[in-house]
Amino acid sequence: MHDRSPLFRPGGGGASVSDSPTCPFDLVSTRDTASPVTAADASPWRRMLRRYWRAPGMAWGALAVVCIASRLATTITYIEDPDSLRFALSVADEYDIAALQPHFPGYPLFWAAAELFYLPTGSFSTSFALVGGLATLGLVWALLRLWGRPLRSVEGTALAGVVALNPLLWLMGNRYMPDLLGTAWAVATLAMLMRAWNGDGPGRRRAALVGVLLAGLLAGLRLSYLPLVVIPVLLVLARSARPVRLITAGGAGVGVWLVPMVLDTGLWTLIDVAWGQTTGHFTDFGGTVQTESDLGRRLAGTVQGLWADGLGGWWPGRHWSTAFVGAGVAATGGAGTWRLWRSGTLHGRYARMIAAGAVPYALWMFFFQNVVHKSRHVLPLLALLLPVLAAGAAALWRARAWPVRGGILAAAGAYAAVTLVLVAQHRTPSAIAQAKAFVETTAQTDSGPTRVASVPLVNTYLRTQQVGARFFSIEDSSDVHRLREAETGRTLVVGTYAPLLDEAPTRTRTFYHNPHVNRMWPKVTVYVYDH
């Protein structure tokens, strides 16, 4: 919940997942209608491949290898921003909410998952990448569960590709953040609640129990995603003949993470931290409508998060190839929307249930999350849009017109290329990480005292990573006065605060990263003053 507005000016086959006859997005048969190839026509190696591919779990095993191996191959080994720093410290150093390792609400289930892999590997970057790979796999499973499609189908294959190669999902799979795992968990919760809402008999009761339990656990994984499932939970409770049983299950889910957190932190300490972080989020550093009140900027940030960062579409300043990606997304999205509308899915019970989750979350996100500067808050909405793209791609593929299929493959190639470029850029340190390396090197080579002046968040980022310098806050008038009175040594001002000192800087260094990789501080300037 502890978001921070940028302080710098921006720079330049498995088994079927559902056998229910009333599954959502019921468009067409899941079987490919291509003409069969007989055993006499197929070569032995093709028969062997088909036999292995049709083995239970083979498709899921292959997808798991792709998701995990790709995220491990693209791990990042630097701290890209203060949010990532808090989670890295919680895993590599100590879980301490009072010390903002991580910040409240603590995300204890995400921390436990990352710690589970950190203990045997000894690498927090590897552990976060493993969690990201498994979260990507889990999101595919959850969306297929919600959609009612098997992985071994045209729709399932298209969805797996759209998810695995999505730019924002891949980037978040490597970041030291709980958003991707929280998204997968939230969609899985919604899928269980959907089954409970539309099913009958013992299966409906089991789905309701599991769905409410998952909702309780979601609060300990990514609390800000809870609005996605609140109304679906209430609808399921209202329909249940035994609501007390479901409420108990939800309470048990909360107790799994809350009790250990209280025991570890202490009740009153936890209450104090929760109050401070909650009030700060809504009134100071959270990027809510209270502090970022320009609704036009908030709308633009939301659209950019979904369209440009989330789907790889064109945005002012991006490479022309993203226009081709945007055209492909628009074509497949339009085809998918038309198919869903024709089938009645977009105005059926399933659509209403999904809207009951998506609309409250969208409102919560728009007004009370930092959508101006952080794309990751759109992840749950982005995930719910991806089946529409997959449905459109599957419908166009079944048209059997080679020009159409060629266009789909070309758009998919461009989609993958944009993602891979962003992922490669993500492996290069962010602007603030580059600035940290510069400040650190400068401090080590100075013979005299080195002073660093910036906002408290940047100072904490540098100090926590053991940069050897004296730190001064530009928000503290006494610190600014002491800086101006300094007669010897070197002062480094990190950020766009050139007028801070009454003299021209000796030199200036500016660091950049692609804002579509991470919108937080894409340009950082360091002013060096020698006294």
Q: Encode 103-130: b = buried (16+ Cβ within 10 Å), e = exposed.
A: bbbbbbbbbbbbbebbeeeebbbbbbbb
Q: What are phi and psi of 41, to 5 degrees?
A: -85, -25
Residue 405 CB partners (closer than 8 Å, separation 6+):
396, 397, 399
Evaluate if pTM is beyond 0.85. yes
Instruction: Give the tokens for residue 519.
Output: 């919108």
pLDDT of residue 25: 42
pLDDT of 13 above 70: no
User: 268: Cβ–Cβ under 8 A, 6 or more apart, which residues?
Assistant: none
> Which residues are within 8 A (CB) of 313 and not within 5 positions of it... i.e. 6 or more apart?
307, 322, 323, 325, 326, 329
Which H helix or E strand runs over 326?
helix 321-343
Question: Under a CB-based contact definition with an 8 Å cutoff, are residues 227 and 191 in contact?
Answer: no
**Inter-residue contact 283 to 275 (CB < 8 Å):** no
Q: Are 75 and 129 in contact (CB under 8 A)?
A: yes
User: Which of 144, 126, 120, 116 has the alpha carbon at shortest distance from 69?
Assistant: 126
| Residue 46: Cβ within 10 Å count | 12
Rounded Cα distance between 329 and 313, Å, is 8
**Most confident residue range from 184-188, 332-336, 460-464, 480-484:** 184-188
147-190: pLDDT as tens digits: 889 999 999 999 999 999 999 999 999 999 999 999 999 999 99
Distances (CA, A) of 71 to 173, 294, 298, 376, 427: 7, 37, 31, 18, 12
Contact 528, 505 (CB under 8 A): yes
Give the per-residue pLDDT at 18: 41
- For 342, residues 6+ apart whose C-beta sits below 8 A from its C-beta are none
pLDDT grade for 479, boundaries at 50, 70 and 90 = confident
Residue pair 86/102 in contact by the 8 Å Cβ criterion = yes
Tens digit of each residue's pLDDT (9 = 90 or more) over 330-363: 999 999 999 888 887 777 788 889 999 999 999 9
What average pLDDT does the segment 115-143 reach?
96
The C-alpha torsion from 154 through 156 and 158 to 164, rounded to 10°, is: -150
pLDDT confidence band for 481 (50 / 70 / 90)? confident
The residue that leads in pLDDT, 348 or 223, is 223
Per-residue pLDDT tens digits for 42-85:
577 777 777 766 776 889 999 999 999 999 999 999 999 999 99
Are the beta carbons of 445 and 490 closer than 8 angstroms?
no
Query: How many Cα atoms are found within 13 Å in the side-chain-facing hemisphere of 95?
Result: 19
Of how many residues is the chain composed? 531
3-state DSSP percent of the chain in helix, strand and coil, to 5: 65, 5, 30
Task: Tell me the β-bridge partners of 451.
Answer: 470, 491
Which of the two residues, 247 and 321, has the higher pLDDT score?
A: 247
CA distance 512 to 522: 5
> At residue 2, does pLDDT exceed 50?
no
Q: What is the pLDDT of residues 307-338, one digit of tens each?
A: 999 999 999 999 998 999 999 999 999 999 99
Predicted pLDDT at 425: 97
Segment 502-529 mean pLDDT: 92
pLDDT digits (tens, 9 = 90+) for 490-514: 889 998 776 777 788 889 999 999 9
Return the structure tokens found at 308: 């440009």
Between 124-147 and 108-121, two packed helices, what is the crossing angle to 10 degrees? 130
Q: Return the residue matching tokens 């001064």.
A: 472
Among 38-42, 102-106, 115-119, 436-440, the range scoring the smallest mean pLDDT is 38-42
Which residues have C-beta within 8 Å of that of residue 505, sequence separation ≥ 6?
493, 498, 527, 528, 529
11 contacts 523 by C-beta, under 8 angstroms? yes
Tens of pLDDT along 406-437?
999 999 999 999 999 999 999 999 999 999 99
Residues of the chain with pLDDT > 70: what percent? 91
| pLDDT at position 370 | 94
Average pLDDT over the chain, rounded to an integer? 88
What pLDDT band is residue 446 in, cutting at 50, 70 and 90?
Answer: confident
Q: Give the span between the Cα atoms of 416 and 322, in whole angstroms.
A: 11
**Cβ–Cβ < 8 Å for 155, 391:** yes
Q: What is the mean pLDDT of residues 464-469?
A: 90
| Model confidence band, residue 20 (pLDDT cutoffs 50, 70, 90) | very low
Terminal C-alpha separation, the chain:
41
pLDDT value of position 53: 65
Q: What is the pLDDT of residue 498?
A: 60
At 518, is the pLDDT very low, low, confident or very high (cuts 50, 70, 90)?
A: very high
Quick one: average pLDDT of 444-463? 89
